[in-house]
Amino acid sequence: MSDSSQQSKARVLIVDDCPNNRLLLSVILQKEGFVISECSDGLECLESVDRDAPDIVLLDIMMPHLDGISTLSKLREKFTKDALPVIMITAKNTSEDLAEAFSVGASDFISKPVDRLKLLARLENQIELLGTKKQVELEKHKLQEALSARQHMGDLLPEAVAVLSSGGQIIYMNLEAINRCGNPSPVTESELLCSIWGGKLKDAHDQMKSILSTGDDIPINHEVKTAGNIPEYIQIISRQLVTPDGNLSRLWVWRDLTVQRSLESQTRQQVAMDTVGLFATGVAHNFNNLLGGINGAAEMLRRTLAGNRMAERCLDIIRQSVTQGAALTKKMVVISHERKGNGMASSIPVKYVVDDVISVQSVLLEKEVSLINEIGSNIVFKGIPYNHLVDVFSNVIGNALDALEAGGSVRMYSAQNSRNECILVVEDTGCGIPEDQIDRIFDPFFSTKSIDVENGISMVGNGLGLWNVRNLMKMSGGDIRIETELGRGTKVSLTFPSSVLSSESQREKLSNQLYQ
């Protein structure tokens, strides 16, 4: 026992009013390697423990001033049994006396006269118990630190993460998952799957739960596009986890792919734009030569076949087709020309540009509709070529008119923007755009006008209108946004940066007066 490292480090406080008793206990314990300190009464004991608490206390019950029971009671106000073991030394061996000692927090007891072997056995037991408890506390502290670190690491993840027990109870949620669920925080799997992302993913979760109900232990990876004018793309991952003790749990991960999908879409648009640009640069010149040859031949035939009404009608169709082909070629090359710096830019009141477009569109109208231009004459742009603005509004207003029934209306007006940008809106009361076409309306060569069902192509539109508008807006530093509702109409918002406004005074006037 004297070789025990635990005992050699243990500090024992002996509290007894009898000097001989203290001496006897000190001799026994010092021989075994204990570090000894002594007190003659309860008050002195309390002061000593306050200054420097020992590892264990041997406390006599019968003492003057403050007996052992009262001393122990005061010790327990500051120290638990786990923190400071106290062995009572007593000549009282009745069950009532022992019960009283244990009721106020005694760890053990030993009877007088003290038996050396029993004393050492009692001390060894308490010291081993104390060491075990300290080890448990240390492991508990390490575990808490590990859990805290795991929670912190989980909170740093951009994904929402949750782990659920086999019974459907939430074991863990990181900060992103908590924020995505809102208040009150969910407790069960059902509450979690219904509340996260504002409930937008409930149908997807139901589909995944249906697959999981088959009992197959397979990871599920599902991507969802939420409804709305600005859809979100969410990847949902679910897989089973097995803990080291064999218990099952389920991991759920939600990853927001909206920005990634947007970048991918922009990349596809850029590739498409570059492809069309290469096509326009390489083919347009030869195409115009072909059109010129056709036009010249048609003119020769017109002179030869003068007076033949049927032939003249056919020649008119040829000339009209050549004119349309030339216009299409011009649209295809406008982006590449403007990137090289061609085109004249001057200060342009936007209201007059829109009026010019309306005057041309009105001549072509075959139905009674209303065209309302509420854009103020004090909106003046600089640095944007006139033909750019004409192309933008011709395409947008033309599309709006195509969507109208008789009696419908198209309204042009300015809208407020907190970033001091100029937003011009073209809003119609037409048929709206089907949801399955929204993602494609800016694709080159995509059109919804007079579709040939068999061949899947438009017999009227060339599919370059909105594609051209979007690129012209990007070139000016702006953007285009479309909001639509089937059967109720479409709103096209054209956002121009404040830098295109012609002067600081007009910019301030726009900010203070125009956005009403």
pLDDT tens track for 272-319: 666 666 556 556 656 766 777 787 787 788 788 877 888 878 888 888
Residue 499 in this model has a pLDDT that exceeds 90: no
The two domains 262-339 and 348-514 share their CATH topology (first three levels equal): no
- Domain boundaries along the sequence of the chain: 5-138, 157-256, 262-339, 348-514
Task: Using alpha carbons, list the distances in angstroms from residue 454 to 248, 441, 443, 450, 457.
Answer: 54, 20, 21, 12, 8
Report the distance separating Cα 284 and Cα 178, nearest Å.
57
The amino acid that residue 327 corresponds to is: A
Report the distance separating Cα 173 and Cα 164, nearest Å.
9
Mean pLDDT of the chain: 80
The amino acid that residue 296 corresponds to is: G
- Average pLDDT for 233-242: 85
Tokens at 303, concatenated: 């002179």
- Average pLDDT for 100-109: 91
CATH class in words for 262-339:
mainly alpha
Q: What is the pLDDT of residue 452?
A: 44
Total count of residues recorded for the chain: 516
What's the pTM? Answer: 0.41
Half-sphere exposure of 483 (CA within 13 A, CB side): 9
CATH of 157-256, one of 3.20.20.70, 3.30.450.20, 1.10.510.10, 3.40.50.970: 3.30.450.20
The amino acid that residue 508 corresponds to is: E
Task: Using alpha carbons, list the distances in angstroms from residue 343 to 301, 339, 474.
Answer: 37, 10, 16
Residue 1 in this model has a pLDDT that exceeds 60: no
Fold designation for 348-514: Heat Shock Protein 90 (3.30.565)
State the first-to-last Cα distance of the chain, in angstroms, to the nearest integer.
Answer: 92
Specify the higher pLDDT residue, 147 or 351: 351
Q: Lowest-pLDDT range, 319-323, 328-332, 424-428?
A: 328-332
Q: Lowest-pLDDT range, 186-195, 415-424, 438-447?
A: 438-447
- Average pLDDT for 240-260: 84
Residue 511 in this model has a pLDDT that exceeds 70: no
Residue 397 in this model has a pLDDT that exceeds 80: yes
Dihedral sign from CA coordinates of 403, 407, 412, 414: negative
Residue 49 in this model has a pLDDT that exceeds 70: yes
Instruction: Identify the DSSP state of 114.
Output: P
pLDDT tens by residue, 161-197? 988 888 888 888 888 888 888 888 888 888 888 888 8
Residue 465 in this model has a pLDDT that exceeds 90: no
Report the distance separating Cα 448 and Cα 470, nearest Å.
17
Highest-confidence range of 314-323, 444-453, 491-500, by mean pLDDT?
491-500
% of the chain beyond a pLDDT of 70:
81
Q: Lowest-pLDDT range, 123-137, 304-318, 445-459?
A: 445-459
Residue 403 in this model has a pLDDT that exceeds 80: yes
- Average pLDDT for 435-444: 81
Fold designation for 5-138: Rossmann fold (3.40.50)
Three-state SS at 413: strand
Q: What is the pLDDT of residue 429?
A: 93
Of 130, 15, 137, which Cα lies nearest the Cα of 81? 130
Q: What is the pLDDT of residue 68?
A: 92
Own/partner pairs, 365-371, CB within 8 angstroms, 24+ separation = 365/401, 367/404, 367/405, 367/406, 368/406, 368/407, 369/401, 369/404, 369/406, 369/407, 369/408, 369/409, 369/410, 370/408, 370/409, 370/410, 371/397, 371/409, 371/410, 371/412
Tell me, rounded to whole angstroms, the distance of Cα 347 from its chain centroid. Answer: 43
The amino acid that residue 241 corresponds to is: L
Task: Using alpha carbons, list the distances in angstroms from residue 205 to 186, 214, 225, 226.
Answer: 15, 15, 13, 13
Report the distance separating Cα 414 and Cα 516, nearest Å.
8
Tokens at 80, concatenated: 């638990």
Report the distance separating Cα 427 and Cα 411, nearest Å.
5
Q: What is the secondary structure of 148-216 as a DSSP string?
A: HHHHHHHHH-SSEEEEEETTSBEEEE-HHHHHHH-SSPP-BHHHHHHHGGGGTTHHHHHHHHHHHTT--
SS3 content of the chain, % helix, strand, coil (to 5): 50, 20, 30
